[in-house]
Amino acid sequence: MSRYKGPRLRVCRRLGDLPGLSRKTSKKQNTPGEHGEKNRKASEYSIRLEEKQKLRFNYGINETQLLNYIKIAKKVQGSTGQILLQLLEMRLDNTIFRLGMAPTIPAARQLVNHGHICINNKIVSISSYQCKPGDIISVKKQSNSRKLIEKYLMFPGLANIPSHLELDTSNLTGKINGIIEREWVALQLNELLIVEYYSRK
Q: Are residues 44 and 104 in the same domain?
A: no
- Residue type at position 94: N
Which of 43-47, 145-149, 154-158 is predicted with the least confidence, judged by mean pLDDT? 154-158
Residue 2: inside a domain, yes or no? Answer: no
Residue 3 lies in a domain: no
> What domain range includes position 73?
8-30+40-87+188-199
Percent pLDDT > 90 in the chain is 25
pLDDT of 45:
86
Same domain, 55 and 98: no
What is the model's pLDDT at position 1?
41
Looking at the structure of the chain, the number of domains it has is 2
Give how far Cα 97 sits from Cα of 50, 109, 118, 119, 153, Å: 23, 9, 15, 15, 10
Q: Is the pLDDT of residue 80 over 50?
A: yes
Q: What is the DSSP letter of 167?
A: E
CATH assignment at residue 19: 1.10.1050.10
Q: Is residue 108 a part of any domain in this protein?
A: yes
**Residue 14: per-residue pLDDT:** 75
Q: Report the alpha-carbon distance of residue 201 to residue 189 in Å, rounded.
A: 20
Give yes or no: residues 82 and 111 share one domain: no
Higher pLDDT, 25 or 160: 160
Give yes or no: residues 131 and 192 share one domain: no
pLDDT value at residue 17: 73
Q: Are residues 70 and 105 in the same domain?
A: no
Is residue 12 scored above 90 in pLDDT? no
CATH number of the domain enclosing 165? 3.10.290.10
